Amino acid sequence: MAKKKSFVKKSERKISKALSKSVAKKEKEGPKEIAARIKEVARGIVKDIESGRNPRFKTKQRGRGNVLFDEKLGIIKLGDKDTTRTFLNIAHARKFLQTMLVMSKTYEYLTNNKTASIREVYYELKHTIGNTKENTFEDQRESDACIVDLEHSIDTIREKLNVHANPKGTLYGDITLVDRQHHNDTFNCLKLGRGGWSIMSRIEPHEIEIKKVNAKYVLVIETSAMYERLVEEDFARKNKAILVGTGGQAARGTRRLIHRLHFEHKLPVYVFTDGDPYGWYIYSVIKQGSMALAAHSRLLACPEAKYIGMTLEDVEDYGLQNVTEKMKPGDIKRAKELLAYEWFKNKPWQKELKKALQLKIRIEQQALANKSLEFVAKEYLPKKIKNREFLP
């Protein structure tokens, strides 16, 4: 089998200095800094009231109209369009009140070293306003939206507000962590059994310290079955790799951990997904960020991440024609969407996506078991990494 050309350009091997500086600055922000920013917003609102002005709260506009792709930094970003909410506008009053409640509660969490799930925030703040039949919140979506508005208003992520969602993701490999929030517990993820460590939703440096990493790279794996296969084959130990299982689309905490491993410990990030438009999009979210969280790409994205497979070329190279699946209408629709995204408009990805639309097939990670159970760990991944057979 001929050695393939690597699509990794020299320019892609060096992350932008501007992004690195921005990341370093944001990483250092702890509860005190975030609480101070909330207090500053509150002071501005109090000043409006004392001056007889209509109290106002400013945040960023969300939606695709304010999302852009920064080619220099290699990330999806939120634009500069703002939106202002005022208390004396009948259309804004309810949302304004809800936002103030969320601000007050998150400030309380930060100053008292408490954390809460987004579900807990909703229930803590839900009540009927005195002498009325009006509830502060009718649905968790309302409180969730206020948390997002606050994130954008003070330029942070909800995890730094001491707020989190349900965790998802698993870590395995020779990496030592210190849980600063739980008696400074110190543990090595290679010694926690085959299950590894369940990645927390909140993975900030002041909470989880990455004390030591003995690895050459991070391998991000889409499916739980493939993650378990690689653990069973002792891939992490034999190849000095850190394995991160996402179980589908990577959760925020998992993306944050991958980001920290890359920036703090200079580890290359390789992403291994199913060979289909949904797997490829999972890769792009880890690499460039997502439109939904465009404001937070600096703390979540890894612009230098590389895609290691599966690809449609693998189908031919490894004789997997008999174990492919037909693309469904949703796959076809997704592939056409990816073709139009700026971050997929490079020659290798355009070729891959057009080939998928032409052949209308997809290939799962587990299809490599058609060769043998050990094939993915002994041949497929080591060969691709050694020869740098990546998509950018």
Residues with catalytic roles? 123
Residue type, 73: L
User: In sequence order, which ranges of the chain are alpha helices (DSSP H)?
Assistant: 17-27, 31-50, 93-111, 118-125, 140-153, 224-232, 235-239, 252-265, 277-288, 297-300, 312-317, 329-340, 347-359, 375, 381-387
**Side-chain-side CA neighbours of residue 391 (13 Å):** 27
Residue among 257, 341, 269 nearest 300 (CA): 257
- Please state, as a whole number, how many other Cβ atoms lie within 10 Å of the Cβ of residue 166: 10
136 secondary structure, DSSP code: S
Phi and psi at 197, nearest 5°, equal -110, 130
Q: Tokens 């010694």 belong to which residue?
A: 191
Strand partners, 77: 68
State how far the alpha carbon of 173 is from the alpha carbons of 111, 170, 177, in Å. 35, 10, 11
Contacts of 106 (CB under 8 A, 6+ apart): 38, 121, 147, 150, 161, 162, 163
Would you state the structure tokens that stand for residue 75, as one six-digit string? 């990330």
The alpha carbon torsion through 383, 385, 388, 392 (nearest 10 deg) reads 130
- In angstroms, the CA 161 to CA 29 distance is 11
84 secondary structure, DSSP code: E
